[in-house]
A and B are shown apart, each in its own frame.
Chain A
């Protein structure tokens, strides 16, 4: 009974993908529009991109920027968010700043950043950094704020200093919330990566997509969308595996299907 339930939930996401492709195929055949290739045509174009050395270098460059932006963002944001969560002074200093930045689409800052830092890696990585930072700060802040006072007192009675309590109690206690923020941050990193490359058209996955669009190679456009989407799903699934391993102690005792929870 249980094993059938699990295999059923495992297969569900794949069935959903397959269903989507079938609908796409039928819709494209019915509409017969040049700018809407069939699913098969798009899938057939994937090896054209992945087989091209130039394109691969571009995609890897995108991923490098995304990784650097993401990693630097969490290294900066987690300590900042935790300190905000435990110190009213730090929170009241940073909160207004973040409230101003939060609703601004980070890609909208891209033209200004390009003006200052050029169209190279630095500008794009900075935009990714900004995109990732805010949800990670916010969730770290919320996580740290809700750490039980008595837990910290218990640690203090054992002789932990304020700094030790921060690293050894606040950080692990807030970890589930922090990782929720990181997961949102990861998706935002992918989004800002593509949008930054759409604005600063020089290299990267977003650039391939828009060059193909300019040339009217719609198969390639859709193939690139599939590739970017697949990258997102893989990254998210990898992160989710890591997250679950780290916070198994806080999880409810049932499994959610894949990473679509």
Chain B
């Protein structure tokens, strides 16, 4: 069970709003007055229908996008840009296609000045951990979607970010691959319990993985409800799917979205 002696805030999102200019030169309010605290070591999912600005919220924490109003902080310090303390994993994988699997994973450590031999040893171990032993010298174009996302995860883990920012990482994968990657992510996460901010539109995925699910409304994105997922860890899919508590969370959350006018099931 996860019971940190005292929960310290890792990430604070403080009254953040985000306005975009559309191609018709109209202002579009994507996020409206979001405040959220993510505690150290927590697995928090942001769940919402597409277009609710949940990815934008993640990009703000990543420092890739500056909020129009409000501020985001990491360990009390204002976030002004990207940094290796926050490691993104994108739905599009965003691997470097000119680098091999090993080259991709070694990129971060090498950038941080880790010696080549040392970085290689660590990265080979990481590649094995994400289940890609034997594929070290393959180029991204030679890999399937699921394998690419495994590489992307290893590449981010390799530079030891304190927070993982996962932007619908399994959204582009088929159902079977998706399930396997969820299981593997959970196994990896349960070893060192990094803080994770995980964006998804799948209710089951959010409940299965998270300590806390942040439900967002349709555009403009507001926080609708924050639900603590009180399910035992380590979680096993086979046990969890049969667990009435898990089922109740899924059904309750889906029902809440239905009330809000969204379609049920996958949002």
Footprint of B on A, CB under 8 Å?
Answer: 148, 150-151, 153-154, 156-160, 169, 172-173, 175, 247, 249-250
How far does the alpha carbon of A151 sit from the alpha carbon of B59 in the complex, in Å?
14
A157-B83, A158-B84, A250-B141 known; A173-B90 Cβ under 8 A: no
19 residue pairs of the A-B complex, CB under 8 angstroms, read A150-B92, A151-B94, A153-B94, A154-B88, A154-B90, A154-B156, A156-B64, A156-B81, A156-B82, A157-B82, A157-B161, A158-B111, A159-B83, A159-B84, A160-B111, A173-B96, A175-B98, A249-B99, A250-B98
Which of A148, A150, A154 has the largest number of chain B CB atoms within 10 A?
Answer: A154
Contact between A154 and B94, CB atoms less than 8 A apart = yes
A157-B86, A158-B108, A159-B111 known; A150-B94 Cβ under 8 A: yes
Q: Which residues of A contact B97 (CB under 8 A)?
A: 173, 249-250
How far does the alpha carbon of A154 sit from the alpha carbon of B84 in the complex, in Å?
10
B87 at the interface (CB under 8 A from A): yes
Q: Which residues of A contact B257 (CB under 8 A)?
A: none
Using CB atoms, name the residue of chain A closest to B65: A153
Give the interface size bracket for B toward A: 20 to 34
How far does the alpha carbon of A159 sit from the alpha carbon of B111 in the complex, in Å?
7
Q: Which residues of A contact B141 (CB under 8 A)?
A: 249-250
Contact between B88 and A157, CB atoms less than 8 A apart = yes
How far does the alpha carbon of A156 sit from the alpha carbon of B90 in the complex, in Å?
14
Q: B86-110 CB contact bits vs A (8 Å, 1 = yes)?
A: 1110101011111100000001100
Using CB atoms, name the residue of chain B closest to A160: B111
Q: Which residues of B contact A175 (CB under 8 A)?
A: 98
Extra 19 A-B pairs, beta carbons < 8 Å, given A156-B63, A157-B87? A148-B94, A150-B92, A150-B94, A153-B59, A153-B62, A154-B90, A156-B82, A157-B83, A157-B88, A157-B156, A158-B112, A158-B159, A159-B83, A159-B84, A172-B96, A173-B96, A175-B98, A249-B97, A250-B98
